[in-house]
């Protein structure tokens, strides 16, 4: 089995167990369930921000611990003070050492779009995402059928959330449903976890022009962002590059400051 197949198989078992323990009626009693969501799409299109989606990610299946003891409150606030457009929170426990409470903690201290980063295989997880304070969910084209993506994105929209469809190649766009709000191109191959940002540029031409596009994974310097922004990307999801530092929010601040400097030099202009 590939890493992705192992994660998805475990996730189906995990979700089945959670459904037995916590009925959706309990999730709907959350203080977050009827709260208005913040639009990730709109924040990525703002002309006063750079489109950075800063991620909180403790570990990965291939690299092990990245920042095991990250302070979610301090890091999430610091990311937003640095000028990030949104937050991405890993909530998978077994493979990424995340938890739903991380997202709820970030929600408590930040009014900004928050993406729940997890492996969604069931409608239950979408209701759960709303209950913990998420504004957007991630749907993986490599995992879900076209019908599932249509149903899941429709459910998210009915709850006021947005959906980010993640693809690795142009074939994944065949599952694009009209309810999907954003498309992300993962530069990491989810079968072997190798990374190349050229993958974003390869897939971009097949994405509908009206769609807000995000490049994900492998972004380690401002020049990567400039290159992708010039090509037409609106958002840039960065996790490990920030998280491998003792103070991820400081790394994010430095990164965005470099973007500002390059912009001031005329190397790149927002829009």
Clarify whether 145 is annotated catalytic.
no
Clarify whether 88 is annotated catalytic.
no
**Of 186, 199, 215, 234, catalytic:** 186
* C-alpha to C-alpha distance for 4 and 202, rounded to whole angstroms: 22
**Of 11, 55, 67, 199, catalytic:** 55
**Of 166, 187, 234, 249, catalytic:** 166
Clarify whether 39 is annotated catalytic.
no
Clarify whether 148 is annotated catalytic.
no
**Of 67, 76, 88, 117, catalytic:** 117
**Of 11, 57, 59, 130, catalytic:** 57
**Of 216, 229, 240, 249, catalytic:** 216
Clarify whether 99 is annotated catalytic.
no
CA 11 to chain centre: 18
CB atoms under 10 Å from CB of 178, counted, come to: 8
Kind of pairing between the strands at 64-65 and 59-60: antiparallel
**Of 67, 110, 163, 217, catalytic:** 217
* C-alpha to C-alpha distance for 101 and 99, rounded to whole angstroms: 5
Clarify whether 67 is annotated catalytic.
no
Identify the sign of the CA torsion 50, 182, 131, 145: negative
Clarify whether 20 is annotated catalytic.
no
52 three-state secondary structure? strand
* C-alpha to C-alpha distance for 130 and 34, rounded to whole angstroms: 8
Region label for 168, one of left (φ > 0), alpha (ψ between -120 and 50) or beta (otherwise): alpha
Could you give the residue numbers annotated as active site? Answer: 55, 57, 117, 166, 186, 216-217
């Amino acid at each position: 089995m590939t890493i992705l197949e192992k994660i998805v198989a475990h996730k189906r078992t995990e979700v089945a167990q959670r459904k037995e323990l916590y009925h959706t009626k309990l999730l709907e009693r959350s203080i977050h369930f009827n709260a208005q969501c913040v639009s990730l799409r709109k924040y990525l299109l703002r002309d006063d921000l750079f489109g950075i989606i800063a991620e909180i990610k403790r570990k990965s299946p291939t690299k092990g611990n990245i920042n095991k003891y990250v302070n979610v409150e301090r890091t999430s606030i610091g990311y937003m003070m640095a000028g990030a457009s949104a937050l991405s929170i890993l909530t998978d426990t077994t493979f990424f050492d995340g938890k739903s409470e991380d997202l709820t903690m970030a929600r408590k201290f930040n009014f900004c779009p928050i993406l729940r980063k997890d492996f969604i295989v069931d409608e239950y997880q979408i209701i759960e995402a709303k209950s913990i304070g998420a504004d957007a969910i991630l749907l993986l084209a490599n995992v879900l059928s076209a019908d599932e993506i249509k149903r899941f994105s429709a459910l998210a929209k009915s709850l006021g959330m947005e959906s980010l469809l993640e693809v690795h190649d142009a074939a994944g766009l065949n599952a694009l449903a009209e309810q999907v709000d954003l498309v992300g191109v993962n530069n990491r191959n989810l079968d072997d976890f190798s990374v190349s940002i050229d993958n974003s540029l390869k897939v971009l031409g097949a994405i509908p022009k009206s769609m807000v596009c995000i490049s994900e994974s492998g972004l380690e310097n401002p020049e990567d962002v400039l290159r992708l922004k010039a090509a037409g990307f609106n958002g840039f999801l960065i996790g490990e590059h920030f998280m491998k530092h003792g103070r991820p929010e400081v790394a994010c601040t430095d990164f965005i400051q470099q973007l500002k400097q390059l912009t001031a030099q005329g190397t790149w202009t927002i829009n």
